[in-house]
Amino acid sequence: MGIFDKFQALSATRRDLEALGIDPFNVQIDRIVSPTEGIILGKPTILAGTNNYLGLTFDPEGIAAARTALENEGTGTTGSRMANGSYSGHRMLERELSAFYEKREAIVFSTGYQANLGMIAALAGPDDVVLLDADCHASIYDGCRLGGAEVIRFRHNNPEDLAKRLRRLGARVANTLILVEGIYSMLGDRAPLKEIVDVKREYGGYLMVDEAHSLGVLGERGRGLVEELDLLADADFIVGTFSKSLGGAGGFCVSDHPELDLIRYSSRPYIFTASPSPATIASTRHALRTLAAGTHLRQRLRENADHLHAGLTALGYTLGAPPSPVIAVIMEGKIEALKFWDGLLKRGVYVNLMLPPATPNGVSLIRCSVSAAHTPEQIDAICAAFADLRTAA
């Protein structure tokens, strides 16, 4: 046995893709024209697979803020938050996040992935229990592995199954962390958060909600599903990312627990990773202010999501969930999904292809993500490409 033998199955899958002449996982965007358009394979392409929910990546004021930080503070921190990488911008962003969520404490990580990795691994150790929704993101699973807690999955969006498993834990519930997401990234469905909170209130435990795909999308001020359902006070920890609605890179956690500050001294992904660049922090702070200031972008995003969802439904496609910025079309199999994805790209529409084992229940998905920056004409063009492929089939 050699160190590379474990990759044989992956290598065989790669050869199958090469035989089809389709490589969906190595697409190069030659040039970004706008939040919703790029040049791929030499031609203009509508970007409908970027998670750029509010379209803020080209916001002029955000770019100006990043440029100023770049000129005044340089290209990077070259160190971790604990060493030499906590600049004034990092601290100000943490204060602004805690104020935005009306929470006591906030902590900023270098990526959204590391926010989950760092928080879960620090909170849930070998003597603790993690109860997580089966469809949770890979970063949540990896955080559980790093911390070494006992991991118990409950059926996706099933509060009754969660209650049953909490009941079995007895006194160990006091050392249990419950993990769910606001909007799930694959199908775009929402957690039944009110029912999950009811279960938590009855049996105990701590609740962490990952709002990566619902920050900027749900709630009166864009604070996610916890706000939309008036459950901000019931989430012990809210984690999220800057790489979706805020158009940058980085992650965070907010909490009313004063012990959150101790995570800085116990979270390996926080302690040993270089902190976000000043330019990234500056653009994120501006994007957060934009999000907090108004609802017009969220309204436009909802209209675009409803538009695309209705169009694809009218064409007879099977969709994974009600309208949200994530609209997933369920395909019959891998080969069909591969060819369909390639057909969309050739028609000037870039989306995400999701295949097992990364997907729920072993399905293959054509995953679209909608932006507030998409024009109605672009949504119509996406629907037209789907219609053309429907006719071709």
By annotation, the residues acting in catalysis are 185, 213, 244
Residue of 162, 111, 169 lying closest to 134 (CA atoms): 162
The whole-angstrom separation of Cα 329 and Cα 337 is 10
**Phi-psi region at 222: left, alpha or beta (left = phi > 0; alpha = psi -120 to 50):** left
Q: Identify the residue whose tokens are 């509010």.
A: 54
235: phi then psi, degrees, rounded to nearest 5: -90, 115
Dist. CA 155–CA 160, nearest whole Å = 9
216: left (phi over 0), alpha (psi -120 to 50) or beta: left
Distance CA 244, CA 252 (A): 13
- How many Å apart are CA 254 and CA 121, to the nearest integer? 16
Sequence-distant (≥ 6) Cβ neighbours of residue 25 within 8 angstroms: 353
The DSSP code sequence of 39-92 is: EETTEEEEE-SS--TT-GGG-HHHHHHHHHHHHHH-S---SBTTTT---HHHHH
What does 328-358 look like in DSSP terms, one character per residue?
EEEESSHHHHHHHHHHHHHTTEE-EEE-TTS
How far CA 46 is from CA of 23, 34, 175, 248, in Å, comes to: 18, 10, 47, 20
